[in-house]
Amino acid sequence: MTLRIQEKSEFRYVDEGSGEVLLLLHGLFGALSNWEEVIAEFSPRYRVVIPLLPIYDMPLLKAGVPGLVSFVEEFLAEIGLLEPCTVLGNSLGGHIALVYALQNPARVARLVLTGSSGLFEDGMGGSFPKRGNYGYVQERVAYTFYNPAVATRELVDEVFDVTNSTAKCLRIISIARSAQRHNLSEELSRIQVPTLLVWGLNDTITPPTVAHEFERLLPNAQLRFLDHCGHAPMMERPAAFNLVLNQFLTQTTARPVS
């Protein structure tokens, strides 16, 4: 599907459908296209909103989890979206969703986390991006998925272009380090809303043990594993991901903490 990207002030975003709002947040090397199958499945029944996070061009001093949470707050204020919504986050996007929920409990009705950072992640496989090394980037992108074929040439080229820029690399490293420092284990018990954890059983970046730990620490969480699936279930197993998400949305009541 071709995404219709809208622009308002400095924000670029997708806003499709109408009804109850699903706010989708992508990860560190992510893009709006990561959520294509979710948009296709849910926009006929929900309003699906996805901001493009300014990971590669935000001011370096703000390049971290708190800066990205502020960006989401400013984006929602700009488009006038103040009602409680269901927030979905993949990888770093899950981390942002959690901090946003902690800071804005009345604005979050439900949470969906998939491969979320916030407790532990090994996003760079213990190292940071090597500039100008295509083979390294190819290997890292493939490491995200159970099936390396999902790491298409187009996807690898996209990430390679990013890591080839020193300015973008500095921001990625700053954000990745911020995510590693910003551990939420002490705070998760405050998040009372219904929470769905959808995890790839073969996730090597945030392994299944991380999902179990999230389930233990979040008071109202349910965990679903998808087999033959890595760090981005909505891309690698979209039909299964959408099925589990649909069940969760229909079986839970959206109820933010007042």
Question: What's the pLDDT tens digit per position in 174-199?
Answer: 998 998 888 999 999 999 999 999 99
Q: Which residue has the higher pLDDT, 211 or 82?
A: 211
In the chain, the percentage of residues whose pLDDT exceeds 90 is 72
For the chain, what is the mean pLDDT? 91
Mean pLDDT, range 115-128, rounded to an integer = 68
**Residue 156 CA, distance from chain mean position:** 19
Sign of the dihedral defined by the CA atoms of residues 58, 79, 29, 193, in that order: positive
3/15 Cα distance (integer angstroms): 10
Residue 118's closest CA among 93, 88, 144, 143? 93
Confidence category of residue 125, pLDDT binned at 50, 70, 90: very low
258/254 Cα distance (integer angstroms): 12
Question: What's the pLDDT tens digit per position in 41-97?
Answer: 999 999 999 999 999 999 999 999 999 999 999 999 999 998 999 999 999 999 999
Under 8 Å between Cβ of 83 and 110:
no
**Taking the model in full, what pTM does it have?**
0.93
Confidence category of residue 258, pLDDT binned at 50, 70, 90: low
Confidence category of residue 143, pLDDT binned at 50, 70, 90: confident
What letter does residue 143 receive in the DSSP assignment? H
Confidence category of residue 169, pLDDT binned at 50, 70, 90: confident
What's the confidence (pLDDT) of residue 246?
98
State which amino acid sits at residue 188. L
Mean pLDDT, range 206-232, rounded to an integer = 97
Q: Between vectors from CA 97 to CA 215 and to CA 27, what angle results, nearest 5°?
A: 100
Beta bridge partners, 100, equal: none
What's the confidence (pLDDT) of residue 187?
96
Confidence category of residue 163, pLDDT binned at 50, 70, 90: confident
Confidence category of residue 129, pLDDT binned at 50, 70, 90: low
What's the confidence (pLDDT) of residue 6?
94
